[in-house]
Structure 1
Amino acid sequence: MQVSPHTAEQGFQGPLIIKHGGTYTGKWESKDADVPAIDIRTKEPVIIENAVIRGAGPLIRSVGYGANITVRNTEGYGITPTPYSDYKKPRRFLNVDVFRNIVIENCLLQSTAGIYLGVQYVGDGTPANTVKIKYNKVRNIDGRVYDGLAIVQFVQFNYRGEVPHIEIAWNEVVNEPNKSAVEDNINIYNSRGTATSPIRIHNNYIQGAFPFPANEKKYTGGGIITDSPGTDSTMATAYLKVYDNQLVGLGNYCLGIAGGNNIEMYQNRAIVSARFEDGSLFQCWSGGIWAKDYYKLNSTYNNAMHHNVLGTMGQTGTWRNDILDSTFVAAATYENVLLDGTITQAHEKEEYRLWLNKLKSNNITIGPINN
């Protein structure tokens, strides 16, 4: 373990460099956007637990080591961004390129830029070499960097290679207008599960997706999307099941297929009043679900959207439940349930009550668990 000199808040140590596997517990902080609070430089299994991490840039980073990282029962906070060199350094809770196993469970993410997995999977395809993102409490995914914005998500996959046994489940994500700057809450980009073990995104509660500032008209983010400008034989998004999620108060869209194959989105609930807390209407577009062969690379087929419950209003205060620019290639099955009547903020609040009841009935605790 190497701890670099750093002026940190009382009770916090400066940035931590981990060169050997093991379990690490403590409080670490970096006030420099170019320096991660924890930099993992080993392929050996690393467990970070019962920790508190604060960063002006990446909180936990591993670049080029084939990471095997477990983070649990840990709090992560984004702090004031600072100037950066070379490229934008958003405050990712976890930023990893080459990986074999990633587990993030029972953590708190506050004003961070979420979780990014990119480049390449180098695991062995077993349940011990996969991705699990579960039971986390997330507040205000925030892409603000020094003097600007970066495109960030709660979860972004951008890796190459098929990965079985992936699960993103039982996370509570709440983004507030003008306190968050999130693009897609979950974006699966040129990343794949397998035919026998698709990526499972289920039982998440996702509330809020807005431009920054929130009253802007242009916004390209939203809820859960598959995006795939890759070709089918090499890297197109494929093999996903997205189900039993609750999507509440989102701008632009709730569920989307912009590309990919063998994707099934079903039994989700999309409830959008398209109004802010003060009752004013969204200025950006808002809608329900959509599917489109956006890139036209012959890699979008065999997809389905069915038995989703839709109640979404537009920025004019009227219904907006379209499946936009859809084709039978993009979504061969489209059978969903449209709610009657005007959707209000009371409906959105009821969704949160349903979520809390679901957690209770399944005996699930989200966020850090006090020992």
Structure 2
Amino acid sequence: MAQNYSKPIVITKGGTYTGNWESNNADVPAVDIQTSEPVVIINSNIRSAGILIKSWYHNADITIKITNGYGLSPTPYTGSAKTRRFVALNDFKNLVIENCYLEGTAGIGVGDNYRGNGTPDQTIRIRYNLVKNIDGRVYAGTVHSQFVQFNFKGSLPHAEISWNQVINEPNRSLVEDNINIFNSRGTAASPIKIHNNYIQGAYPLFAADSSFSGGGILMDGDGNLKTCTAYVEAYENHLVNLGNYSMGIASGNNIRYHHNRAINAATFEDGEKFLMYTSGFWSLDYYKKGTTFSNSIDNNTIGVMAWEWPDNRRDFSDIKGAIVAENTHITGTITTQHEAAEFGIWQQKLKVNAITLGPVGKNKPFIPF
């Protein structure tokens, strides 16, 4: 349904806001939230050539529900590159994003400092969203972009990234890691939970290229023991047709990957094989900071094709700083039929759990998948 869009809005007071806002200037966010008071955006449509929703250094408390977000064609910018982040948040108390639809955006970035009180009412919850084609292109260039990236200081309890469907199409998207937790941490009593997400597709800008640095879910960070990623639990996720890797640990401790499903035919729909590297699970002390330990990769189901490796398989690559146990390897050649069946498993899971993804009611978008 066609929408009439208003010019960008600057929000300086708490409250509930509904509208259709757009920005055709990469330097100007469509929605700029400049208050620490609770702001709710609901039943809205937002599109931008740069950041869609921005809040920098306002100790934000933001809830976004039943809202559609679209990236417009990038325009020239001044200063640093302006990605089309659906949400770009620095300094925050609380962020809730639920039942939204994102298309052609650069995803969600949360950085700087967590300034909440540690209760369930002041955390991060990203749930029940439909996402199509994370796209890190900017005017005359590219920037690493993710569906979700955490890069903040402070220990955050009660955080959850769950029940999201992310589908990136080859040659129509440019995602780095679909989920990247960088120098960010939960707590021992309440780890960051990443669960029941369906993530399909991670490719270079030209999908047939042989070089690609992105992938599925990554624990990352170059910090020391006080600041590195820690206390994360990722489980019951579906990782499908991902270039480079499915789930990795570049740095971090007290991380558990369990009961996930990594299914990868390493093949495009037209039958062409990936030229880029592919693998399933890995763990390293990549930054050589001595921070990767007390991790577990267990009870996962894995079938990842990797052309030119022995038996054309690469379910695991380097493993340091993690226990690997009780994983199940799918035998034989993984095909695109296996991947299609995985999407069916996901849809059945949604049905059994009575989960509705994306906007509901009058704000439901047309989604061609």
**1:10-29 pair list within 5 angstroms:** 11-29=4-22
Residue aligned with 1:100, SS: strand
Distance in 1 between the 2:342 and 2:324 partners? Answer: 26
Which residue pairs with 1:47 in the alignment?
A: 40
> Is the CA contact (8 Å cut-off) linking 1:227 and 1:257 kept in structure 2?
yes
Amino acid at match of 1:312: V
1:279 pairs with 2:275: no
Residue aligned with 1:352, SS: helix
> Is the CA contact (8 Å cut-off) linking 1:27 and 1:53 kept in structure 2?
yes
Which residue pairs with 1:298 in the alignment?
A: 290
> Is the CA contact (8 Å cut-off) linking 1:288 and 1:320 kept in structure 2?
no
Residue aligned with 2:342, SS: helix
Distance in 2 between the 1:291 and 1:263 partners? Answer: 10
C-alpha RMSD of the superposition:
1.2
Distance in 1 between the 2:161 and 2:98 partners? Answer: 10
Amino acid at match of 1:355: W
1:336 offset after TM fit, Å? 1.4
**1:218-237 pair list within 5 angstroms:** 218-233=211-226, 235-237=227-229
Distance in 2 between the 1:54 and 1:322 partners? Answer: 39
Deviations 1:16-38 (A, max 9, x none): 00000000001000000000000
Q: Which of 168, 171, 181 is matched with 1:175 structurally?
A: 168
Which residue pairs with 2:365 in the alignment?
A: none
Residue aligned with 1:97, SS: strand
Distance in 2 between the 1:350 and 1:139 partners? Answer: 20
Which residue pairs with 1:115 in the alignment?
A: 108
Which residue pairs with 2:260 in the alignment?
A: 268
**1:189-268 pair list within 5 angstroms:** 189-233=182-226, 235-268=227-260
Task: Give the structure-1-normalised TM-score.
Answer: 0.95
**1:65-144 pair list within 5 angstroms:** 65-144=58-137
> Is the CA contact (8 Å cut-off) linking 1:281 and 1:316 kept in structure 2?
no
Q: Which of 305, 310, 313 is matched with 2:305 structurally?
A: 313
Distance in 2 between the 1:130 and 1:189 partners? Answer: 17
Distance in 2 between the 1:324 and 1:10 partners? Answer: 48
1:350 pairs with 2:341: yes
Task: Give the structure-2-normalised TM-score.
Answer: 0.96
Aligned pair count reads 360
1:325 offset after TM fit, Å? 2.5
Q: Which of 348, 353, 362 is matched with 1:362 structurally?
A: 353
Residue aligned with 2:54, SS: strand
1:323 pairs with 2:316: yes
Which residue pairs with 2:367 in the alignment?
A: none
**1:51-66 pair list within 5 angstroms:** 51-66=44-59
Residue aligned with 1:64, SS: strand
> Is the CA contact (8 Å cut-off) linking 1:254 and 1:287 kept in structure 2?
yes
1:300 offset after TM fit, Å? 1.4
Which residue pairs with 1:6 in the alignment?
A: none
1:124 offset after TM fit, Å? 0.3
Amino acid at match of 1:12: Y
Deviations 1:235-275 (A, max 9, x none): 11000000000000000000001110000000000000001
Unaligned runs of 5+ in 1: 1-8
> Is the CA contact (8 Å cut-off) linking 1:165 and 1:199 kept in structure 2?
yes
Deviations 1:206-252 (A, max 9, x none): 0000011111111010000100210012x110000000000000000
Amino acid at match of 2:271: G
Identity of aligned residues (%): 53
1:324 offset after TM fit, Å? 2.3
Unaligned runs of 5+ in 2: 363-369
Amino acid at match of 1:352: F
> Is the CA contact (8 Å cut-off) linking 1:92 and 1:112 kept in structure 2?
yes
Distance in 2 between the 1:121 and 1:336 partners? Answer: 35
Which residue pairs with 1:336 in the alignment?
A: 327
Distance in 2 between the 1:79 and 1:315 partners? Answer: 36
Amino acid at match of 1:207: Q
Change (3 A) 1:359 1:220: same
Distance in 2 between the 1:202 and 1:358 partners? Answer: 13
With 17-26 and 297-306 compared, the bigger mean Cα shift is at 297-306
1:316 offset after TM fit, Å? 4.3
> Is the CA contact (8 Å cut-off) linking 2:303 and 2:315 kept in structure 1?
no
